[in-house]
Amino acid sequence: MTANTSSAELVHIIGAGLAGSEAAWQVARSGIPVVLHEMRPGKMTEAHRTDGLAELVCSNSFRSDDAANNAVGLLHAEMRRLDSLIMRAADANQVPAGGALAVDRDGFSDAVTRALDGHPLIEIRRAEIEGLPPEHWRNVIVATGPLTSLALADAIRELTDESALAFFDAIAPIVHRDSIDMSVAWFQSRYDKVGPGGTGADYINCPLTKEQYEAFVGALMAGEKTDFKEWETNTPYFDGCLPIEVMAERGQETLRHGPMKPVGLTNPRDPTVKAYAIVQLRQDNKLGTLYNMVGFQTKLKHGAQQRIFRTIPGLEKAEFARLGGLHRNTFLNSPKLLDAQLRLRAQPRLRFAGQMTGCEGYVESASIGLIAGLYAAANARSTSLAPPPATTAIGSLLGHITGGHIETIEPGGRSFQPMNVNFGLFPPLASPPTRKPDGTRLRGNEKTVARKQAISARALADLDRWIAESLNIAAAA
């Protein structure tokens, strides 16, 4: 169809990947016309191979489909309740993959393309948007993804500032706070310094002896690494973001003078013995459930990371909410730049969605496209939409992007880095389960399982309430 471009209600969406396609569907479902701009096939990214909408550039998996025990499975369930096109196309094109939801990638992309191409309220324009959208586009969603074309990325960077748009990520692992052994680790800031918003005891410190440090450095250098893709090797990383294993290769003592320096810290259990090296973890979210291994961005393979990082005293049983990485990835410093409805504070007509906002993964990107679409549709109708509850997967991810992350106070790499959905982003339960239905006490891992299941049940109940109270009312208005 040709959308009526003079309509004040019109929503322009730039990028028809996972997020842009879902956003277009949600806006059109609300009865609002959409123009969806996609640069392929005229201009391709380094990873896309087809002209299909919502092309999956690598794996064909949407990960676990277990809504009761897994945060991404819960996100699937929430998106299905919100009539997600991406989930509908994925469900219709499933291939066998055990407990995971994997799809036939061509069938999936074709289904999304057909649904949008044939929609009477959607016009698809195949052209690159080479700078900021024209002023008369008043309601825009930018969903151009990790490989946003340079012309648009440069324009966004000029509008924000040099450090607000990154061209690659430098991801340090994040650990669930309750999996850290606090009988070994302790809370303290270096020299007990009270920084902005700090207490002087803001970091979790894990001490290493000389022998442990030397074994650790050896393991880092020997550990299996992932290769940079050819086009990523030309993306330089600055010194503040060197992978930990590259630092280790520069000399046996380099890490002791960098992220593992032991100065200004005293182990309260052994105050007269100085640790040879110390790993520091910094609080990563306002809830205090996640801690970030400061300076530990890495290209080690995930299995090697888990094995090597669990040799650090205090982290023997660490559960990782996110493992480290370094990739070409265009994304915003969203907690600073975007408001709670994903609008650029400096130019609220521009709303962002997908991986550019700092979420990670196909499903997460689509879910942020979904909520951006709902907000844009509400704007077009001059109504407002209550935010999704923070207790839901979609609400907790949105909260993390727009405000839940705590910014670093050290110089060097920016602290906000892309994140998959995980249970550490959800507000803790008011009263975590302690007993089974038969009244007997939950033990060990049973408690973790019961906690996840209670968080999931709370999420779905709260989402249903939000749909009934906010979306149905908004649709009727």
Q: State the minimum distance, in angstroms, from the CB of residue 389 to ligand FAD.
A: 24
Q: Measure the CA–CA gap between 70 and 86, rounded to whole angstroms.
A: 19
Closer to ligand FAD by CB, 9 or 38: give it.
Answer: 38
Q: Measure the CA–CA gap between 49 and 54, rounded to whole angstroms.
A: 12
Q: Is 355 in the site for ligand FAD (CB under 6 A)?
A: yes
Q: Among 288, 343, 292, 4, which residue's Cα sits nearest to residue 170?
A: 292
Q: In a 3-state reduction of DSSP, which class is residue 447?
A: helix
Cα dist. 457→68, 419, 439 in Å? 7, 23, 20
Closer to ligand FAD by CB, 61 or 254: give it.
Answer: 61
Closer to ligand FAD by CB, 10 or 143: give it.
Answer: 143
Q: State the minimum distance, in angstroms, from the CB of residue 357 to ligand FAD.
A: 8
Q: State the minimum distance, in angstroms, from the CB of residue 188 to ligand FAD.
A: 37
Upstream peptide bond of 41 is cis (omega within 30 degrees of 0): yes
Q: Answer whether 415's CB lies under 8 Å from 335's CB.
A: no
Burial class (CB in 10 A: 0-12, 13-18, 19+), 106: middle
Map the footprint of ligand FAD across residues 123-142, applying CB under 6 A: 128-129
Interacting residue with ligand FAD among 75, 124, 147, 247 (CB under 6 A): 147
Interacting residue with ligand FAD among 149, 297, 402, 470 (CB under 6 A): 149
Helix (H) or strand (E) holding 57: none
Q: State the minimum distance, in angstroms, from the CB of residue 101 to ligand FAD.
A: 11
Q: Is 105 in the site for ligand FAD (CB under 6 A)?
A: no
Q: Is 20 in the site for ligand FAD (CB under 6 A)?
A: yes
Map the footprint of ligand FAD across residues 55-94, applying CB under 6 A: 57-59
Q: Measure the CA–CA gap between 88 and 107, rounded to whole angstroms.
A: 12
Q: What share of the chain is helix, strand, coil (3-state, %, to 5)?
A: 35, 15, 45
Q: Measure the CA–CA gap between 474 and 470, rounded to whole angstroms.
A: 6
The torsion region of residue 359 among left (phi > 0), alpha (psi -120 to 50) and beta comes to: beta
Q: Is 164 in the site for ligand FAD (CB under 6 A)?
A: no
Q: Which region, judged by CB under 6 A, interacts with ligand FAD, from 4-12, 41-49, 249-257, 283-291? A: 41-49
- In terms of DSSP bridges, do strands 174-176 and 290-293 run parallel, antiparallel, or are they unpaired? antiparallel
Closer to ligand FAD by CB, 226 or 453: give it.
Answer: 226
Closer to ligand FAD by CB, 60 or 189: give it.
Answer: 60
The one-letter code for the residue type at 76 is H
Q: State the minimum distance, in angstroms, from the CB of residue 335 to ligand FAD.
A: 18
Closer to ligand FAD by CB, 47 or 475: give it.
Answer: 47
Binding mask 358-387 for ligand FAD (x = CB under 6 A): ---xx--x----------------------
Q: Which residues bind ligand FAD (CB under 6 A)?
A: 14-20, 37-40, 45, 47-48, 57-59, 128-129, 143-149, 152, 354-356, 361-362, 365
